[in-house]
Amino acid sequence: MPSRLMLAGLAAFAAILLLMPAANAQDRVVRGGPAGEFDFYVLALSWSPGFCALEGDEKNRNQCRSGSGLGFVVHGLWPQNERGYPTDCGPAGRTPSRQAMDVAREVFPEEGLARHQWRKHGVCAGSSPTDYFNDVKRARAAVVVPPQFKAVDKVQTLAPIDLERAFVAANPGLRADMMSVACRRNELQEVRICLSKDLRSFRTCQEVDRSGCRTRDISVQPVR
């Protein structure tokens, strides 16, 4: 039987744990943070067939129509810190102009997605809509999609690390600790690649790397 002293000690320890803040990734989201104050960018490339299988069909997205031929598409370019990230940095104020949206349409699969990314993440970059979308375009041009993912015609099963290795092989200077693979319900969602603030090089990003999916195998849906 535990002694009264031991029980008292356990109770005190439990009380301390209750007072400690939870180590939750959401606690590190800085909403309304100062625009332009961040450490690096994350380019998120969504696997369009996986998005469509998980939720896009229900939303009747144009990118999910048969014959779209879309594989990896831009989800967003996100300002990121070593720990956490800023979001919704003040009012979106500057509505993207027609010129800005012309650039956005070159890289985003949906205009609505481009506008959402500007409001949530682009404002935090501290630049104009046109400059932000041009930066998205530059970031996308800096990443080579491995050739085996350009014409997937049947469901494939592979380990997340194998997908990372394919991107590393196709992009000189990129390493596995500079990216992560996101998945949901064992379906490939997207690849997230870390880039320096000036978009000139890949860079390490421990928190992003650790956030990758831990499942043994993921399904890669075929291009529609």
- Going along the chain from its start, the domains and CATH numbers come out as 35-220 (3.90.730.10)
Give the model's pLDDT for residue 192: 98
Please state the three-class secondary structure of 37-77 as a single string: CCCEEEEEEEEHHHHHHHHHCCCCCHHHCCCCCCCEEEEEE
pLDDT string in tens for the chain (224-residue length): 555 544 444 444 444 333 333 334 444 777 777 899 999 999 999 999 999 998 878 776 789 988 999 999 999 999 999 999 999 997 756 789 999 999 999 999 999 999 999 999 999 999 999 999 999 999 999 999 999 998 899 999 999 999 999 999 999 999 999 999 999 999 999 999 999 999 999 999 999 999 999 999 999 999 99
In whole angstroms, what is the distance from residue 36 CA to residue 131 CA? 13
Give the CB-side neighbour count of residue 133, counting CA atoms within 13 A.
24
What letters, b where the CB count within 10 A reaches 16 and e where it falls short, cover 193-211? bbbeeebeebbebebbbee
Spatial CB neighbours of 200, under 8 Å, sequence gap ≥ 6: none
- Sign, CA dihedral 60-103-188-44, equals negative
- Sign, CA dihedral 39-194-216-183, equals positive
Virtual torsion, Cα 201, 202, 204, 206, nearest 10 deg: 130
